[in-house]
Structure 1
Amino acid sequence: MFTMKLRKVTAAAATALVLALTATACGGDDGDSDETGSGSGGGDKIKIGIKFDQPGLGLKEPDGSFSGFDVDVATYVAKELGYDADQIEWVETKSADRENALARGDVKFIAATYSINDERAAKVDFAGPYLLAHQDLLVKADSDITEATDLNDKNLCSVTGSTSAQNVKNDFAPEANLKQNSGYSECMSALQSGAVDALTTDDSILAGFAAQEQYKGQFKLAGLKLSNENYGIGVKKGDTETVNKINDALEKMVADKAWDKAVTDNFGPANYKNEPAPEIGNIVK
């Protein structure tokens, strides 16, 4: 079973790190510019993997900018690593390619609704978790669906290849009619039109879609906790130094309330009942 160990950073280690960074700066090392950021607009870049198609989490806007909770978390972390917002190069990392992107070195880290599990942890290292999400149902605001068992003889939507809808059918509502679409946007349109009665995936993803301007007030989360999804920040296997730095940044983000603000800014319109910020290294099974 996968576990994460809390790291301890001693004063001596911190001092050694400062001295090492100072020596590198003075020595004019010509190392990879993606590894060290000047934090002062000096031209260095950091490549960060996110989703481009998840409102409220990781979304590429029509004007080319990026928004969402994962984007806010990654931007905060990058700043703590020494990079200004304009030094970030956002890279789309789809679910199936996340491990490969890290192994190839395409990105420094990934913040993309990346649930920590044993299989993934064998291939990459994780910082965090930074959000505890749960599989849930999104229904119309006036819907009388309050439990997963209410979905018997109802139409349930999810994306093709997702296990979420099948989990509901297997464990709660064997008579549910599964409707699969190519993306969550198609499921949202089906829910809005009444073609389906509910949409299921992680509550954070559902909240992000429901918070979009064109959907505000139309939908609600059922508030079910059908699974635990511990979102972590993926880092190349063996890069313990970066994992420790990201964990420090996440702890600081929680302590100065920037984490709470990011939750409210991105999920607030959907009345998302988020869990408190998780403790670093604490994986909820």
Structure 2
Amino acid sequence: MNRFRNRRLAVAAAAAVVLSFTAAACSDDGGGGSGGGDDEKITVGIKFDQPGLGLKTPDGKYTGLDVDVATYVAKELGYDPGDIDWKEAKSADRETLLQRGDVDFIAATYSITPQRSEKVDFAGPYLLAHQDVLMRSDDDSITKPADLNNKKLCSVTGSTSAQNVKTKLAPQAQLQEYGGYSECLTGLENKVIDALTTDDTILAGYAAQPEFQGKFKLGGFKMSNENYGIGVQKGSELKAQINEALEKMVADGSWQAAVDKNLGPAGYQNEPPPKIGVVVP
């Protein structure tokens, strides 16, 4: 993975040459982007279906917090946005994509766990998320997890989030499993269900969409800790370079601006940026 460090140095050297040539020639020609000197690309895995985090829009653009974080990191590695090949990284495919070398790194609501760390390495974490509950903004009946008893609680099929609530916090919750979060949101809006549970970032991402703003609210229950990291191949030197980029993103204010832009409209209250290498249990 030395090509990333080498590319950054090469880009800087090329920029110096261009500036020197321009000064000598007194040319008025406009310069290109910092990563435009060659056709080399970087491949980044993200989610394509999570509003506010990683979403491929109908017009082919990519938006969300993970997209903004990945774009910043790629810039620090020497790549312009146009140099990024975005690849869908579904939850079940992430380790395989990294192990096969199909992607250079993955930023896709990728929680750092001991099991995953046996297969891949993680830079970060860059965000501390929590399992939470989304409810209608006019519903004051759910003020703590235990209030979910006898309530219709929704999550997607196969998710561990709703089971976690049912087994540990509200055993009498009426679990409803739908095919996708958008279906849960429709049910919540139509009062077919009472609450939706998963990571607070995912909930905030959906609630921040224009069609849902003002309709839902987060419980703020913090029922688990989810340390989002950037996945790389096991043993990759890229981990250290990404950590440097994440530290810079926090220091220059870009990290907070990205969180506010993508999740703020839902009233999401983020934790302070986590310290690199510190995973909150």
Structure 1 length-normalised TM: 0.87
- Out of 156, 163, 188, the residue aligned to residue 160 of structure 2 is 163
1:233 aligns with 2:245: no
- Out of 37, 43, 51, the residue aligned to residue 47 of structure 2 is 51
What is the Cα deviation at residue 42 of structure 1? 2.2
What is the Cα deviation at residue 40 of structure 1? 2.6
Tell me what 1:206 maps to: 203
Tell me what 2:173 maps to: 176
Tell me what 2:145 maps to: 148
**Kept after mapping to 1: 8 A contact 2:155/2:184:** yes
Q: Return structure 1 stretches of 4+ with deviation > 4 angstroms.
A: 17-22
What is the Cα deviation at residue 273 of structure 1? 0.7
Within-5 A mapping of 1:53-202:
53-144=49-140, 145-202=142-199
Tell me what 2:259 maps to: 263
Separation (CA, whole Å) in 2 of partners of 1:49 and 1:112 = 7
**Kept after mapping to 2: 8 A contact 1:130/1:280:** yes
**Kept after mapping to 2: 8 A contact 1:50/1:71:** yes
SS in 2 for 1:213: coil
What is the Cα deviation at residue 41 of structure 1? 5.0
Pair 79,174 (structure 1): closer, same or farther in 2 beyond 3 Å: same
Pair 254,20 (structure 1): closer, same or farther in 2 beyond 3 Å: closer
Listed as ranges, the gaps of 5+ residues in structure 2 are 15-33
**Kept after mapping to 1: 8 A contact 2:7/2:77:** no
What is the Cα deviation at residue 146 of structure 1? 1.2
Separation (CA, whole Å) in 1 of partners of 2:250 and 2:152 = 39
Separation (CA, whole Å) in 2 of partners of 1:19 and 1:117 = 31
SS in 2 for 1:137: strand
**Kept after mapping to 1: 8 A contact 2:166/2:172:** yes
Per-residue deviation, residues 126-167 of structure 1 (Å, max 9, x unmatched): 000000000000000011211110011110000001000000
Separation (CA, whole Å) in 1 of partners of 2:263 and 2:7 = 41
1:183 maps to amino acid? G
SS in 1 for 2:277: coil
Separation (CA, whole Å) in 2 of partners of 1:78 and 1:186 = 34
RMSD: 1.8
Structure 2 length-normalised TM: 0.88
Separation (CA, whole Å) in 2 of partners of 1:143 and 1:282 = 36
Within-5 A mapping of 1:10-21:
none
Separation (CA, whole Å) in 2 of partners of 1:60 and 1:19 = 28
Structure number with bigger Rg: 2
Separation (CA, whole Å) in 2 of partners of 1:149 and 1:97 = 34
Greater displacement, 246-255 / 181-190: 181-190
Listed as ranges, the gaps of 5+ residues in structure 1 are 1-16, 27-37
Count of residue correspondences: 256
Pair 124,19 (structure 1): closer, same or farther in 2 beyond 3 Å: closer
Within-5 A mapping of 1:208-223:
208-223=205-220
